[in-house]
């Protein structure tokens, strides 16, 4: 029989507003924290609930008019549970029923071999149903466990009041675009690094990471009074992760090992790339329209041709092609800013983006570092150019797979990580950028996004509604909080939970990869995590024989 102590009983509630629970007299209201998980035992169904509010109640208003003296502990204890009591509000999130109804009626803890079914909540428990703390087995039923041989589960953290893992279903996670949100300083980068490590460890997808601040590749600095660093993905998975850099000098200064250089030629820049950075370059609509005329005339080499044109050549061109001389001259003048970007070249000896595509097809994870080239102009231009090429290649691969139905033609599931996502997915640009296309297409072409941002309100509502799983640290701005719950039904109570998160190491997880919204104390990214994730020290793989094999493999790939 169940020996756990009941916390209280259900006194009233509704399916839309949740349940009101009166706490037993010996249960302190101070132990009830928003975000805590509780289980209500109905007559035939068990309800898995989340605590959304805590209140104090009295049996008579006379007690409040003439309250007992604080030093009179005897009277206070007499009133506790009868004249005064605590109440909590619960929101039922799931209900589950064992295959054997007798087991539910006789035992609280379901055996490991019990069959059960998780169901959406479509009813509520009856009056005076008892409420209990959720047990470890309850959490396993709802969130699974990391060592499940039948699923790619990854523990992202644990509940705020219990040391039991909360797992994401990575197969469901990578099949849709996802988001990591939170205000500055709440640990978005650490959360993202956790997720990427899990995806690599469980082989759920291939990652392409646009590392704006060089935090994911080799190592990253931690915040705090004492300076320290944590390992990046290249150190954790040296055989699976390759770093490319757009600023080789910066990468060498930071002591990054074995990074490959990456350059982009002018003929790889299209007009739609300029549309994305029109504000950074201060381009007018007329300049962009004339850019289209130039591209149609000169093809891929239109930028190189424009930058070398004289005034007389521009005048002659405008007379022949009905262009605007002032607009083209303004375009020429503003595009000279591209010379400041170290990774841009008039021509390149090889196609670096194709090299990245070949590595992705081979299952390698790519981190692209920007170093000192991390300003918005540089980041947005390079990210859009590379992603557009990769998406085009994936569309062709997906169409071939749909035609042949041959599993060997199936493209590797690809997750693209971008920071400052609202710059790419703002309402006025989302339809023009490749990232808006990817977010709307979801899994159709086996490419999804992992967007990292501190301003979700700046992202187009249509894109936000397509975000499968949202992992959100503390947000203060009401517009940002509203954006998080775009397309989420019954989000009123969750808003309260989100506003009460700690500023560090706590996040609200909701969406496609979890069966219900959950507040987690996020997993520490430390030596314990390195060992658990299956990390191989760099020194152990840097033997002469291993390096010789690595050099041979790079030669085979054309490095």
Q: Dump the DSSP string for 117-131.
A: EEEE--S-PPTT-EE
Chain-centre distance for alpha carbon 137: 27
The number of CA neighbours under 13 Å toward the Cβ of 357 is 17
Backbone torsions φ then ψ of 242, nearest 5 degrees: -120, 135
Closest CA to 428 of 276, 324, 225: 276
The residue ranking higher by pLDDT, 162 or 133, is 133
Residue 218 · residue 211 · CB < 8 Å: no
**38 pairs with which residues across the strands?**
49, 133
404: pLDDT strictly greater than 80: yes
The number of CA neighbours under 13 Å toward the Cβ of 367 is 29
312: pLDDT strictly greater than 80: yes
Q: Please state, rounded to an integer, the average pLDDT across all residues of the chain.
A: 83
- Residue 81 pLDDT class (50, 70, 90 cuts): low
> Euclidean distance between the first and final Cα of the chain, in Å?
66
- Residue 70 pLDDT class (50, 70, 90 cuts): confident
* 141 Cβ neighbours under 8 A, 6+ residues apart: 96, 110, 116, 118
- Residue 109 pLDDT class (50, 70, 90 cuts): very low
Across 315-323, average pLDDT: 86
265: pLDDT strictly greater than 80: yes
The number of CA neighbours under 13 Å toward the Cβ of 274 is 28
% of the chain with per-residue pLDDT over 90: 28
Between the alpha carbon of residue 544 and those of residues 138, 520, 540, 541, 548, the distances in Å are 50, 43, 11, 9, 6
Residue 249 · residue 265 · CB < 8 Å: no
- Residue 72 pLDDT class (50, 70, 90 cuts): low
- Residue 197 pLDDT class (50, 70, 90 cuts): very high
- Residue 204 pLDDT class (50, 70, 90 cuts): very high
Report the chain's C-alpha Rg in angstroms: 28
Across 44-61, average pLDDT: 85
- Residue 77 pLDDT class (50, 70, 90 cuts): low
By three-state DSSP, how is residue 386 classified?
A: helix
Segment 9-52, tens digit of pLDDT: 999 999 888 999 999 888 888 888 888 899 999 888 889 998 98
What pTM was computed for the model? 0.83
Between the alpha carbon of residue 431 and those of residues 418, 471, 479, 489, the distances in Å are 17, 24, 22, 26
126: pLDDT strictly greater than 50: yes
The C-alpha atoms of residue 62 and residue 125 are separated, in whole angstroms, by: 32
553: pLDDT strictly greater than 70: no
Pick the most confident of 57-66, 195-204, 441-450, 460-469: 195-204
Q: What is the pLDDT of residue 52?
A: 87
* 549 Cβ neighbours under 8 A, 6+ residues apart: none
Residue 200 · residue 237 · CB < 8 Å: yes
C-beta atoms surrounding 351 within 10 Å: 14
Q: Tell me the domain boundaries of the chain.
A: 8-143, 168-263+349-546, 267-341
Q: Decide: residue 270, CB within 10 A, 0-12 exposed, 13-18 middle, 19+ buried.
A: middle
Segment 468-521, tens digit of pLDDT: 999 999 988 889 888 888 877 666 778 878 887 888 888 999 989 998 888 899
Architecture of the domain defined by 168-263+349-546: 3-Layer(aba) Sandwich (3.40)
- Residue 233 pLDDT class (50, 70, 90 cuts): very high
- Residue 76 pLDDT class (50, 70, 90 cuts): low
Q: What is the pLDDT of residue 436?
A: 85
Closest CA to 89 of 52, 114, 143, 119: 52
Q: What is the pLDDT of residue 140?
A: 87
C-beta atoms surrounding 500 within 10 Å: 15
User: Long-range contact list for 538-544, CB < 8 A, 24+ apart?
Assistant: 538/235, 538/238, 538/257, 541/238, 541/239
Local structure of residue 423 (DSSP, 8 states): G
Residue 488 · residue 510 · CB < 8 Å: yes
Poorest-pLDDT segment among 86-95, 167-176, 216-225, 369-378 = 216-225
Residue 541 · residue 343 · CB < 8 Å: no
Residue 471 · residue 181 · CB < 8 Å: yes
Q: What is the pLDDT of residue 489?
A: 67
The residue ranking higher by pLDDT, 4 or 270, is 270
Between the alpha carbon of residue 379 and those of residues 304, 352, 420, 424, 554, the distances in Å are 21, 17, 9, 11, 27
């Amino acid at each position: 029989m169940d020996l756990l102590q009941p916390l209280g009983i259900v006194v009233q509630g509704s399916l839309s507003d949740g349940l009101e629970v009166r706490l037993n007299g010996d249960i302190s209201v101070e132990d009830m924290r928003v975000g805590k998980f509780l289980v209500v035992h109905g007559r035939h169904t068990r309800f898995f609930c989340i605590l959304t509010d805590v209140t104090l109640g009295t049996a008579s208003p006379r007690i409040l008019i003439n309250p007992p003296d604080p030093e009179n502990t005897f009277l206070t204890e007499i009133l506790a549970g009868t004249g005064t009591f605590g109440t909590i509000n619960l929101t039922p999130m799931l209900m589950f029923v064992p295959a054997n109804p007798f087991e539910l009626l006789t035992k609280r803890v379901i055996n490991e071999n019990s069959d059960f079914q998780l169901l959406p909540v479509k009813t509520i428990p009856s009056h005076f149903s008892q409420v209990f703390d959720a047990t470890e087995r309850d959490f396993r039923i709802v969130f699974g466990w990391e060592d499940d041989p039948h699923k790619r589960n990854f523990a992202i953290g644990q509940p705020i009041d219990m040391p039991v893992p909360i797992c994401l279903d990575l197969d469901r996670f990578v099949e849709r675009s996802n988001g990591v949100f939170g205000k500055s300083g709440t640990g978005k980068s650490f959360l993202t690094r956790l997720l990427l490590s899990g995806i690599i460890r469980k082989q759920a997808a291939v990652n392409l990471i646009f590392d704006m601040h060089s935090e994911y590749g080799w190592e990253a600095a931690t915040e705090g009074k004492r300076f320290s660093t944590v390992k990046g993905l290249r150190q954790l998975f040296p055989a699976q992760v390759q770093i490319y850099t757009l600023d080789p000098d910066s990468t060498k200064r930071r002591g990054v090992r074995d990074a490959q250089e990456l350059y982009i030629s002018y003929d790889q820049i299209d007009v739609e790339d300029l549309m994305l950075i029109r504000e950074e370059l201060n381009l007018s609509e007329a300049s962009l329209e004339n850019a289209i005329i130039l591209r149609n005339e000169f093809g891929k080499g239109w930028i190189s041709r424009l930058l070398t044109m004289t005034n007389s050549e521009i005048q002659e061109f405008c007379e022949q092609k009905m262009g605007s001389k002032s607009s083209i001259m303004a375009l020429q003048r503003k595009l000279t800013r591209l010379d400041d970007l170290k990774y841009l070249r008039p021509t390149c000896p090889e196609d670096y983006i194709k090299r990245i595509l070949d590595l992705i097809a081979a299952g390698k994870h790519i981190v692209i570092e920007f170093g000192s080239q991390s300003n918005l102009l540089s980041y947005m231009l390079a990210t859009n150019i590379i992603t557009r090429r990769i998406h085009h290649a994936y569309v062709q691969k997906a169409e071939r797979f749909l035609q042949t139905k041959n599993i060997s033609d199936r493209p590797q599931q690809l997750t693209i990580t971008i920071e400052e996502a609202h710059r790419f997915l703002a309402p006025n640009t989302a339809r023009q950028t490749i990232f808006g296309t990817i977010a709307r297409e979801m899994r159709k072409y086996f490419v999804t996004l992992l967007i990292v941002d501190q301003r979700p309100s700046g992202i187009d509502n249509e894109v936000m509604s397509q975000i499968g799983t949202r992992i959100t640290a503390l947000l203060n701005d009401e517009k940002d909080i509203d954006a998080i719950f775009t397309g989420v039904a019954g989000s009123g109570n969750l808003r309260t939970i989100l506003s009460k998160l700690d500023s560090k190491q706590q996040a609200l997880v909701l969406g496609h990869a979890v069966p219900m919204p959950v507040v987690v104390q996020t997993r520490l990214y430390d030596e314990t995590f390195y060992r658990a994730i299956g990390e191989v020290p760099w020194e152990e793989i840097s033997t002469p024989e291993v390096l010789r094999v690595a050099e041979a493999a790079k030669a085979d790939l054309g490095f």
